[in-house]
Amino acid sequence: AFSKEGAKVIATDINESKLQELEKYPGIQIRVLDVTKKEQIENLAKEIERIDVLCNIAGFVHHGTILECEEQDWNFTMNVNVRSMYLMIKTFLPKMLKQKSGNIINMSSVASSIKGVVNRCVYSTSKAAVIGLTKSVAADFIEQGIRCNCICPG
């Protein structure tokens, strides 16, 4: 949708074959990126002079209750669903502040603080954290021209 309106879009994903499907669309550049890797995010930021919209939509759904969630499941889910947004925002927000404008869109879910979902303990927890992160960034930077909002599908 952004590229159809003339925006320059840089699509990122850890899966290069999925990204290549986007190359057929005009105005879209692709970059392989693991959003859990700070160094990769910082390297991408060096390539980008201006950023008007940052969409944080990487995510992972762990299935199970708290009793079925091992520590590595918890850590992986929180790393992908929450820490990656922290890293992306922390890296790209200074560019937006310098521009005195920017929009950050974070993907959460109704399986968060909105309603409980069976067998989605760590997923729901991570998406509730995304809502908290979004509200904090929005409150902290609205006066500097930065908007931060959350989408909660489901």
Lowest mean pLDDT among 23-37, 71-85, 93-107, 134-148: 23-37
The distance of Cα 65 from the centroid of its chain, to the nearest Å, equals: 24
Q: Which helix (H) or strand (E) holds 53?
A: strand 53-56
User: Is residue 11 pLDDT above 80, yes or no?
Assistant: yes
Residue-level pLDDT at 126: 97
Annotated catalytic residue within 30, 89, 123, 126: 123
Name the pTM for this structure. 0.94
Homologous superfamily in CATH for domain 54-151: NAD(P)-binding Rossmann-like Domain (3.40.50.720)
Q: What is the largest CA-CA distance in the chain?
A: 48
Residue-level pLDDT at 116: 82
Query: How far are the Cα atoms of 51, 58, 59, 124, 127 from residue 121, in angstroms, in the given order?
Result: 34, 18, 15, 5, 10
Residue-level pLDDT at 3: 82
Catalytic site includes residue 123: yes
* Domain ranges (residues) in the chain: 54-151
Report pLDDT digits (tens) over 60-69.
999 999 999 9
Quickly list H helices, 6-80.
16-20, 38-47, 71-78
